[in-house]
Structure 1
């Protein structure tokens, strides 16, 4: 199986797909899957811009809306995680994972799926210590604070991933596991990015939870982005002889090293995205303590589950077999961007995504994503318009410049005026 890995996409789907297609033509080959390590920017319309953590003057439409509206269909099956520049309102609709558009699958805030027999896990967001133990209290419409904190990694999602016991082939994270620079050419990295040196020495460059997951899960491959440079490493795990090959990639811009294509052993195709039995059993077990306010999850409450692990697995397997392990179908919940007409202000802030509803019904779980961020009680939400009510429109792409988080740029320039 040939897999393309992409760093920070920043909404430039067309560029990435055209680059892969050029590679296929040049080498007379076929890429089976594209993996994106965050900053995907699944912006469907103008209103989604309010949930995108970039300065207002840089909020412009890129190309995802064409795929959301079905004007275009992704030519390669695509799986992505979230970073720190996302349409967080849309990703919250798909907290458990799901199709963001036809042939483009969001792995969820944390998740595991299979593509053929290749097992892929991932963790969305970036690590900030002050928010790590909090619950998922943010709800759209976000304010200046919550539009940033909503993409900060939470302990609840990490603990779910820590329960995995079956081997993973690939793991995706946006920021790097802290300490990963010990296993690669950190000297060359610091020559390229001099301001990394102090963080490396202080052990603050990267994510502590990601480092815990790397140590526990020991995947064959680990891919990241976020720091806008290419860096490779090989992590030897203890005495068992297993090795994780780590690769971080740059952002999607001309001249940047943002794409890598690898071959990975697999069964013969055709391949498709499938639900992972172990992961959904973990999701089912942990959902009763899903923290939906600032209060952190009470993991002790979950230690005496009504079903033991094996019983839970068997229950989930029976349900998934009814669907042949296939995720529920993509469904639009809001209108797609129309360049000649602004969308209506009456679109609800918290539409219930049919995929999420169907998955929770399959697992026998309640829908909790519209709970109050203060009390955890349900919020009354206006009914979403039917997807069939949303027309699609012809348009041409509006190119925009890439931009990082302004605070990050200013901090970096203070140390290195030549930073991208």
Structure 2
């Protein structure tokens, strides 16, 4: 199977598909599937921009809405995860995964599917220590603080992935912590010298993702976020570090990065000026963060927002769960979609089931369905994450739930996704601003929860409607109800 892998999308879906078409024509081959590793920006209409954590200067509609409305068609099966610059209101509708648009599937906050027999798994968001052990407490229409915390990965989602058998392909936005040590570290620093302080302190990347890498040991791991191409090989039997990079005593500011700190009240021009000052006088401050990345200040979280779960489990599951049989994991990170950037790569992956004339087939992963059922009692929608049993106990429960999946569901749970989840527009699509902000119950989430005989705790239909509810002109019918209008921000 020929698979195109792309780093950060940032709304450039048209350009990504165009580049794939160019490579297909010049190479004389056909790409079967596209994977996008976050910052996808599924913006359906200008109202969705209010739910994306970036300054107004960077809020652009992009071209996704045309795929959402059907004006354009995705030319191949496209599977995406979320990053830290997303329309979080839409992503939350599909927390368990679902079609963002026809032929464009979102894996959810965490998820796993089978594509022609290949296990494709992934996790959305980025790591932030203050929120890792909290529940999914953010509430529509999301305040300023919640717009940034909602995309932080949670222990609940990492622990669910810990119990997967080794995936063939894994996607994340963040890099696993210290993965740069298993490739050309010196070359990375020559290209991105502002990573030096993070590498020296061993805090480049996500600690939970390193634990996840060691535990589930996928064959291939794809990432984005840091806006550079980098490859590494993590040997699970005998990890081999790269040679240490020679220190560059000069602190270098990232020339591309826009450093943003909304809490101090500066506008974008002041931020850019500050970055230039730091670039001119390196001794004045520590190295500036990645420039292509729009960084946000999370220091204004309230104590209630960051309340930790007492006794939260460590995610170092490699020591308590039986090891997978995989010898090594190939890691590849890619840049964002811009001219002359290395943002796209075509990889050949043998698939257990040959790809037919109609393209790849995507089915549910029975093991993931069992994990979803097993962990559902511990899904927390409050600041405090519910205490979860140890992973060995949960592994036994997943086994019991897998028996249920195989006996209760068609194809033993490996049913075609399209047979259960059918794309349905919820919000209106287009470049016209909607009237107010709306809560939508996504029929795909309802369908998946019904399949698994679980409550839809993510976006249940409102129990009552008020006369203040105003239908959005041009929106698809909403038989399950719309929440009362919330004034646009």
Q: TM-score range by the shorter chain?
A: 0.7 to 0.9
Is contact 1:285–1:302 with CA below 8 Å preserved after alignment? no
Alignment partners' CA distance in 1, 2:335 and 2:99: 25
Q: Which runs of 5+ in 1 are unaligned?
A: 372-377, 392-420
Q: After the TM superposition, which residues 72-83 of structure 1 pair with which residues of structure 2 at under 5 Å, given as runs?
A: 72-83=72-83
Is contact 1:137–1:294 with CA below 8 Å preserved after alignment? yes
Is contact 2:166–2:326 with CA below 8 Å preserved after alignment? no
Q: CA deviation at 1:195?
A: 1.2
Q: CA deviation at 1:281?
A: 0.3
Is contact 2:373–2:454 with CA below 8 Å preserved after alignment? yes
Q: After the TM superposition, which residues 207-246 of structure 1 pair with which residues of structure 2 at under 5 Å, given as runs?
A: 207-238=206-237, 242-246=327-331
Alpha-carbon RMSD: 2.5
Q: CA deviation at 1:382?
A: 4.7
Is contact 2:336–2:343 with CA below 8 Å preserved after alignment? yes
Residue 404 (structure 1) aligns with: none
Alignment partners' CA distance in 1, 2:326 and 2:426: 47
Residue 287 (structure 2) aligns with: none
Which structure has the greater CA radius of gyration? 2
- Tell me the secondary structure at the aligned position of residue 119 of structure 1: strand
Alignment partners' CA distance in 1, 2:91 and 2:457: 15
Residue 416 (structure 2) aligns with: 326
Q: After the TM superposition, which residues 34-73 of structure 1 pair with which residues of structure 2 at under 5 Å, given as runs?
A: 34-73=34-73
Is contact 2:435–2:472 with CA below 8 Å preserved after alignment? no
Change (3 A) 1:55 1:387: closer
Alignment partners' CA distance in 1, 2:397 and 2:207: 30
Say which of 372, 386, 389 aligns to 1:297. Answer: 386
Is contact 2:378–2:388 with CA below 8 Å preserved after alignment? yes
Residue 130 (structure 1) aligns with: 130
Is contact 1:177–1:209 with CA below 8 Å preserved after alignment? yes
Is contact 2:7–2:334 with CA below 8 Å preserved after alignment? yes
Alignment partners' CA distance in 2, 1:123 and 1:379: 29
Alignment partners' CA distance in 1, 2:156 and 2:59: 31
- Tell me the secondary structure at the aligned position of residue 245 of structure 1: strand
Q: CA deviation at 1:325?
A: 1.0
Which stretch of the first structure deviates more once superposed, 56-65 or 38-47? 56-65
Say which of 278, 283, 288 aligns to 2:367. Answer: 278
- Tell me the secondary structure at the aligned position of residue 351 of structure 1: coil
Per-residue CA shift, 1:8-47, capped at 9, x if unaligned? 0001100000000111111110000000000000010111
Q: CA deviation at 1:238?
A: 1.2
Change (3 A) 1:64 1:382: farther
Change (3 A) 1:200 1:145: same
- Tell me the secondary structure at the aligned position of residue 300 of structure 1: coil
Q: After the TM superposition, which residues 4-403 of structure 1 pair with which residues of structure 2 at under 5 Å, given as runs?
A: 4-164=4-164, 166-238=165-237, 242-266=327-351, 267-270=353-356, 271-300=360-389, 308-321=397-410, 325-327=415-417, 328-337=421-430, 339=431, 341-345=432-436, 348=438, 350-370=439-459, 380=463, 382=465, 390=475
Change (3 A) 1:380 1:57: farther
Alignment partners' CA distance in 2, 1:186 and 1:302: 34
- Tell me the secondary structure at the aligned position of residue 119 of structure 2: strand
Alignment partners' CA distance in 2, 1:381 and 1:131: 32
Is contact 1:50–1:142 with CA below 8 Å preserved after alignment? no
Is contact 2:434–2:472 with CA below 8 Å preserved after alignment? no
Change (3 A) 1:331 1:237: same
Alignment partners' CA distance in 1, 2:234 and 2:393: 35
- Tell me the secondary structure at the aligned position of residue 299 of structure 1: coil
Change (3 A) 1:19 1:227: same
Alignment partners' CA distance in 2, 1:241 and 1:228: 28
Alignment partners' CA distance in 2, 1:365 and 1:302: 22
Change (3 A) 1:128 1:381: farther
Change (3 A) 1:312 1:286: same
- Tell me the secondary structure at the aligned position of residue 85 of structure 2: coil
Q: Which runs of 5+ in 2 are unaligned?
A: 239-324, 477-489
- Tell me the secondary structure at the aligned position of residue 67 of structure 2: helix
Is contact 1:286–1:302 with CA below 8 Å preserved after alignment? no
Q: Structure 2 length as normaliser, TM-score?
A: 0.74
Q: Structure 1 length as normaliser, TM-score?
A: 0.86
Alignment partners' CA distance in 2, 1:148 and 1:84: 8
